[in-house]
Amino acid sequence: MNFIRKLTVRSCVYRNFSVSAANNANYSCKLLVVGGGSGGCTIAAKFARRLKKDSVIVLEPSSEHYYQPLFTLVGAGVKRVAQTRRSAQSVLPQNAKWVQDAAASVNARDNCVTTAQGHVIKYEYIVIAVGVENDYAKVPGLLESLQDERSGVSSIYAAEYCENTWRDIKNFKGGEAIFTYPDTLIKCPGAPQKIAYLAESYFTKANVRSKTSVTYNTCLPVIFGVKKYAEALLKVVERKKINVNYKTVLKEIHPDRREAVFFNTADKTKEMTMRYDLLHVTPPMKTPEFLSSNKDIVDAAGYLCVDKYTLQHTKFPNMYGIGDCTNTPNSKTAAAIAKQCYVLEQNLLSSMQSAEPSQKYDGYGACPLLTSYNTCILAEFVYDGVPHETMPYDQARESAIAYYMKRDLFPFLYWHFMLKGYYHGPEFVRNIVNPFAK
Ligand SMILES: Cc1cc2nc3c(=O)[nH]c(=O)nc-3n(C[C@H](O)[C@H](O)[C@H](O)COP(=O)(O)OP(=O)(O)OC[C@H]3O[C@@H](n4cnc5c(N)ncnc54)[C@H](O)[C@@H]3O)c2cc1C
């Protein structure tokens, strides 16, 4: 381990040394934010306002920023993918310096990051916000199926494939429609079933439901992790006559035969082959390789080790993490980030003033579980699956208000307030409309 650390330190020094010869650049900053997605952009906005110009560097390779929560409604034909996309330039804070490159390694002991293009960025403080990525290779046959327009296989979990889900739902003439949930941690754990409910509603509207079997195969032993909402969702499943197979994971796809092979998590030797006409896949997910391979800062599963309350790294006090790439046991959602960003901001400010972080993240997350084209169960909860609702009605009830909040209000809040660092979740609204909520 020490040997590896020494090598990494040397690699930083070497790159600094080779700047002029290799056209590489050296940067240094007060705060380096790695990843400019939901979490990174929000935190960068907060600190770019507080610190001098270019004291914050955002390291982000992509020139486009997506509001991913709308991918579900893209898959259901309600929105177009273009409506979820903005240029990174337009959302990243003006006062921060954007280095358009990817982190290749983080040397937490020497406070520097080396980029894919060989630049070296020295920092005083760092926030890691690189999210999770789809691990297509884990399911043989998946990527080639997604890339084949006639395969009947799609996924709302990628900007490049989510419109194909709508194409497949719209063109579906009846038969076997299968929806999957993988055996890894995923972002928005509600989305794999939301798209099944929306598809079922569309099949009914298009008069193909009577000749269709809808199946939801999930690795989980329950329909949803929070009991209150799981009970409500089971009624939805029953009403919609959706077959649910628990502990059932997609192993491989044979696109030539339109067959999907599943295994049982309790007994992996038990396999089940199902024919499909439409297959919606939620791919396995993982953190980016530069992070998962850095054993100095991640847990055994490759997630950044942070204190689940303060979001400070457990070993390196000048390092914080936000969003999907950390090992906090909350539901990985943009809603969680809204709450985390305030805690992280306050705690990082304390660290900058040599004080101990004192703000605590309570594990808040929200999941608007769309159950049709005009209803939604708005699940809100904190650590240990304890419901924490904002509205003054029972949110386990399917409601139209929650549907329009998901479709129109949340994207508005995201683009105009959250990414600018001004939205910290619905606490403020909760205190007004539901003051007696626990
Ligand atoms: C289909 C779907 C439905 C969803 N529905 C909801 C919902 O209803 N409600 C909700 O709250 N949330 C929902 N989410 C989840 C939400 O979108 C994510 O939890 C949130 O975007 C995570 O933010 P993040 O900053 O952690 O990661 P991201 O927003 O994914 O950003 C990570 C960034 O890191 C960058 N990056 C990656 N590797 C590197 C590298 N090596 N160096 C530098 N940068 C790098 C990436 O380019 C990316 O910009 C949904 C997501 C999906 C896909």
* pLDDT, tens only, 268-284: 888 999 999 999 999 99
Pairing between strand 112-115 and 103-107? antiparallel
> Are residues 59 and 33 in contact, defined by beta-carbon separation less than 8 angstroms?
yes
Substitution site in 98, 130, 287 for ligand 1 pocket (most atoms within 8 Å of beta carbon) = 130
DSSP per-residue string spanning 9-20: HHHHHHHHHTHH
Residues 100 and 215 in one domain: no
Q: What is the reported pLDDT for 403?
A: 98
- What's the gap in Å between 37 CA and the centre of ligand 1? 6
pLDDT at 272: 97
What tokens appear for 151 in the block?
């395969």
Tell me the average pLDDT across 27-50.
98
427 or 124, higher pLDDT = 124
Hey, whose CA ends up nearest to atom 29 of ligand 1? 37
Q: Are 251 and 273 in contact (CB under 8 A)?
A: no
Lowest pLDDT segment from 14-18, 404-408, 427-431, 433-437: 14-18
Question: Domain of 188?
Answer: 134-285
Give the model's pLDDT for residue 340: 98
pLDDT band at 14 (very low <50, low <70, confident <90, very high): very low
Q: Would you state the pLDDT for residue 428?
A: 86
Residues 118 and 201 in one domain: no
pLDDT at 10: 37
pLDDT (tens digit per residue) in 328-376: 999 999 999 999 999 999 999 999 999 999 999 999 999 999 999 999 9
State pLDDT tens for residues 81-130.
Answer: 999 999 999 999 999 999 999 999 999 999 999 999 999 999 999 999 99
- Alpha carbons within 13 angstroms on the beta-carbon side of residue 241 total 7
Examine the domain organization and report whether 140 and 110 are in the same domain.
no
Identify the domain boundary among 285, 303, 332: 285
Q: Which residue has the higher pLDDT, 438 or 419?
A: 419
* pLDDT reported for residue 22: 54
Nearest one of 374, 346, 373 to 359, comparing CA atoms: 346
Cα–Cα distance measured from residue 233 to residue 220, given in angstroms and rounded to the nearest whole number:
14
User: Is residue 188 lining ligand 1, measured as CB closer than 6 Å?
Assistant: yes
H/E element, 102: none
Confidence class of residue 47 from pLDDT cuts 50, 70 and 90? very high
Evaluate: CB of 186 within 6 angstroms of ligand 1: no
Q: Which residue's alpha carbon is nearest to atom 49 within ligand 1?
A: 37
Give pLDDT, residue 434: 83
Radius of gyration of the chain (CA): 22
User: What is the per-residue pLDDT for 11?
Assistant: 41
User: Does a structural domain hold residue 44?
Assistant: yes
Q: Are residues 306 and 265 in the same domain?
A: no
Pick the closest to residue 214 from 173, 238, 178 (CA basis).
178
* CATH code for position 184: 3.50.50.60
Q: Which atom of ligand 1 is nearest to the CA of 336?
A: 11
Atom of ligand 1 nearest to the CA of 332: 19
Q: Are residues 19 and 126 in the same domain?
A: yes
Residue 194 forms part of a structural domain: yes
Q: With a 6 A CB cut-off, is 130 part of the ligand 1 pocket?
A: yes
For the Cβ of 131 lying below 6 angstroms from any atom of ligand 1, the answer is: yes
117 lines ligand 1 (CB under 6 A): no
Q: What percent of the chain has pLDDT over 90?
A: 91
Q: Which helix (H) or strand (E) holds 267?
A: none
Clarify whether residues 339 and 372 are in a common domain. no
Mean pLDDT of 33-51: 98
Q: What is the mean pLDDT of residues 230-256?
A: 98
Question: Do the beta carbons of residue 360 and residue 309 sit within 8 Å?
Answer: yes
Contact 57, 9 (CB under 8 A): no
Domain assignment present for residue 357? The answer is no
Is the CB of residue 333 below 6 angstroms from any atom belonging to ligand 1? Answer: yes
Give domain status of residue 165, yes or no: yes
What is the distance between the alpha carbons of residues 282 and 341, in angstroms, rounded to a whole number? 27
In angstroms, what CA-CA distances link 105 with 75, 287, 305? 35, 13, 16
Strand order across the beta sheet in which 376-382 lies = 365-370, 376-382, 386-387
- Taking CA atoms only, the protein residue closest to ligand 1 atom 47 is 62
Within this chain, do residues 326 and 419 fall inside the same structural domain, yes or no?
Answer: no
Based on the fold, state whether residues 46 and 103 are members of the same structural domain. Answer: yes
Q: Which residues pair with 214 in a beta bridge?
A: 177
Q: Which two tokens stand for residue 404?
A: 């329009």
- Where do the H-state alpha helices sit in 314-384? 334-352
Is 259 inside a domain boundary?
Answer: yes
What is the SS3 assignment for 355?
A: coil
Same domain, 220 and 117: no
Do 98 and 25 lie in a common domain? yes
Question: Which residue among 58, 59, 68 is best mutated to probe the pocket of ligand 1, counting the most ligand atoms within 8 A of its Cβ?
Answer: 68
- Residue with the smallest CA separation from ligand 1 atom 5 is 69
Query: Domain end: 330, 352, 374, which one?
Result: 352
**pLDDT value, residue 370:** 98
Domain count, the chain: 3
CA contacts within 13 A on the Cβ side of 52: 3
CA of 159 to the centre of ligand 1 (A): 11
Q: Does the CB atom of residue 324 touch ligand 1 within 6 A?
A: yes
User: Mind giving me the DSSP string for 128-192?
Assistant: E----EE-GGGSTTHHHHHH-TTS-EE-TTSTTTHHHHHHHHHH--SEEEEEEE-SS--SSTTHH
* 232 within 8 A of 190, measured Cβ to Cβ: no
Q: Is the beta carbon of 93 within 6 A of some atom in ligand 1?
A: no
Domain's final residue, options 232, 252, 285: 285
Give the active site residues: 188, 367
Whether residue 257 sits in one domain with residue 181: yes
Percent of the chain with pLDDT over 70: 94
Report, as an integer, the average pLDDT of 368-387: 98
Q: Is residue 117 part of a domain?
A: yes
User: Does the Cβ of 39 fall within 6 Å of ligand 1?
Assistant: yes
Burial per residue of 139-148, b for 16 or more beta-carbon CB atoms within 10 angstroms, e otherwise:
bebbeebbee
How much is the pLDDT for 9?
Answer: 36
Q: Are residues 273 and 299 in the same domain?
A: no
Contact present, 161 and 150 (Cβ < 8 Å): no
214 band by pLDDT with thresholds 50, 70 and 90: very high
Expressed in angstroms and rounded, the spacing between residue 95 Cα and the centre of ligand 1 is 23
Q: Which of 105, 132, 184, 188 to mutate to test the pocket of ligand 1 (most atoms within 8 A of CB)?
A: 188
Pocket lining: 61 vs ligand 1, CB cutoff 6 Å: yes
Q: Is 135 helix (H, G, I), strand (E, B) or coil?
A: coil
What's the pLDDT band for 6 if we cut at 50, 70, 90?
Answer: very low
97 within some domain:
yes
| Minimum CA distance residue for ligand 1 atom 48 | 37
**358 inside domain:** no
pLDDT digits (tens, 9 = 90+) for 157-189: 999 999 999 999 999 999 999 999 999 999 999
Ligand 1 midpoint to CA 68 (Å): 7
Q: Taking all residues of the chain, what is their mean pLDDT, rounded to a whole number?
A: 94
pLDDT given at position 17:
34
Does the beta carbon of 226 sit less than 6 angstroms from any atom of ligand 1? no
The answer to whether the CB of 165 is under 6 A from ligand 1 is no
Q: Which of 43, 324, 327 to mutate to test the pocket of ligand 1 (most atoms within 8 A of CB)?
A: 324
Q: Which helix (H) or strand (E) holds 422?
A: none
What pLDDT sits at residue 438? Answer: 62
